[in-house]
Amino acid sequence: MSAATDYYTDLLESAFDLESISILVAAGATQAEVAAALEIDVTAPVAEFPDAEAEDGSAYALVDVAGGVLAVELSGYADPSRAALRELSSGGRSAAVVRSNIQAHLRFGCARDGELLFDDHEYMYVDDPEPVPAELKELFLEAWDDLEAEEPEPTSDGFAVALAMAEVVTGIRLTAADLAAVQEAGFRPAPSLRYVEGLSAEE
C-alpha cells in the first residue's frame, strides 16, 4: 500500500458511509462554477441530506478547500456527468470524482484542461489497464482486480486508492478539516443520474 493510499484509508475511517457517496474535487474552480456544473439549486436553503424515500433527486454540500472546491452528496447516484468533468477542468484546471453506491459500483473519473483522462463506473474491474494514465498507473494497480488472473488480489481499498488518484490529478489533498466542513455546510438539491444519462447519450 502506498503512503497516499494509507493516508486516505485512515482519513475515511469515520468520515462518511462509503457505501453511498459521490466526492468531487475541482481544482481552480469556485463554488458557483461547481454548483452550475452539478445543477445545484443555489436558491434553496441549506439543509440536512434529504431522506431518500421522501425526496426525488439528491443534494450536494460544497466547501472551499485549499486549491479548489470539494463537493459531496450521499446517495451515490448524483455523480457528475463526463461533460461536467470536462467543463470543470477547462482552462487548464482539473477535476476528479469518486463515487460508490449500494450496487457496489465504484467509479473513478478525472479530467484536465477540458479533456477526459480516464473514467469508468467500476474502475477496479476494467479489462485492460492500458487506458489508465501513466501518472495514475502505480496507484491504480493497487486496486485493480484482474479477473483474468488465477488469484486476483487487490492490495488496497479501492475508495482510498481512487481518492489518492484524485489528489494526483488535482493537486488537492483532502484533510479531516475538509471533511468536517462538509458535515457542517449543509446540502442543497441537485438532480440524480446525470452520469448514467450522459453515458446513454454517448452510445
Q: Give the rounded distance of the alpha carbon of 17 from its chain centre.
A: 14
Is the pLDDT reported for residue 30 higher than 50? yes
Whole-Å CA distances, 131 to 17, 93, 95, 116: 30, 21, 18, 11
Could you read off the pLDDT of 118-175 as tens digits, one per residue?
Answer: 999 999 999 999 999 999 999 999 999 887 776 666 678 999 999 999 999 999 999 9
Residue with cell 472551499: 64
Residue with cell 477496479: 124
Crossing angle for the helix pair 134-143 and 3-11, to the nearest 10 degrees? 60
- What pairs with residue 187 in β-bridges? 47
**pLDDT on residue 202:** 78
**pLDDT on residue 56:** 72
Please give the average per-residue pLDDT across 47-53, as a whole number.
Answer: 72
Its sign, for the CA torsion 4, 6, 12, 17, is positive
Euclidean distance between CA atoms 189 and 45, whole angstroms: 9
Average pLDDT, the chain: 92
**pLDDT on residue 55:** 52
Is the pLDDT reported for residue 54 higher than 50? no
CB-count burial class (<10 Å; 0-12, 13-18, 19+) for 149: exposed
Please give the average per-residue pLDDT across 76-103, as a whole number.
Answer: 97
Could you read off the pLDDT of 183-195 as tens digits, one per residue?
Answer: 899 999 999 999 9
Euclidean distance between CA atoms 108 and 167, whole angstroms: 12
> Strand runs (DSSP E) across 8-75, as ranges?
21-27, 58-65, 68-73
What DSSP element (H or E) covers 148? Answer: none
Pull the grid cell for residue 108. Answer: 473513478
pLDDT cut 90: percent of the chain above it: 80
Whole-Å CA distances, 170 to 2, 4, 88, 195: 18, 14, 11, 20
CB-count burial class (<10 Å; 0-12, 13-18, 19+) for 114: middle
Euclidean distance between CA atoms 144 and 146, whole angstroms: 6
Euclidean distance between CA atoms 117 and 101, whole angstroms: 22
